[in-house]
Amino acid sequence: SNGGGKSTGVVYFHFRPFSTNSAVASLVFVGFLLLYLGSLIGNLTIGLTVWQDHSLHTPMYFFLCVLATLELGYSTNIAPLTLASILSMGKMLISLSSCGTQMFFFILLGGSDCVLLAIMAYD
């Protein structure tokens, strides 16, 4: 609260570290980074292969390409902030609006994944 009686504070969330031991944090960071890079490379490979090869332009591969694209967005929504929070060793803060934005895209992309998988099962 400032002198005028109005509160001008912004709500921030504090990330608790997985571990305060820097060796463990480094190991967790490398593990998460490898998983994220594997996801990126795998989904990009699927998308580019389907896009480049005209014999794969069928509904099944179209849906697979869309699924790979959704997964790229889904993992990119979560992984960079997680990696940054691991590196910060608990010093990173995120505002309420940033958290809300990330949650919106998390739910949007996750829900889209579910709808697409239902469509793929029907196809």
Q: Number of structural domains, the chain?
A: 1
Confidence label for 4 from pLDDT (cuts 50, 70 and 90): low
Confidence label for 7 from pLDDT (cuts 50, 70 and 90): low
pTM reported for the whole predicted model: 0.78
Whether 73 is in a domain gets the answer: yes
Confidence label for 2 from pLDDT (cuts 50, 70 and 90): very low
Q: Which residue range is the domain that position 33 belongs to?
A: 22-86+93-121
List the one residue out of 118, 32, 24, 14 whose CA is nearest residue 75: 32
Render 23-57 in DSSP notation, one character per residue: HHHHHHHHHHHHHHHHHHHHHHHHHHHHHH-GGG-
Q: How many CA atoms lie within 13 A of 121 on its CB side?
A: 6
The average pLDDT across 6-23 equals 73
Whether 8 is in a domain gets the answer: no
Q: Which residues of 8-20 are buried (b: 16+ CB within 10 A; e: fewer)?
A: eeeeeeebebbee
Whether 97 is in a domain gets the answer: yes
Confidence label for 23 from pLDDT (cuts 50, 70 and 90): confident
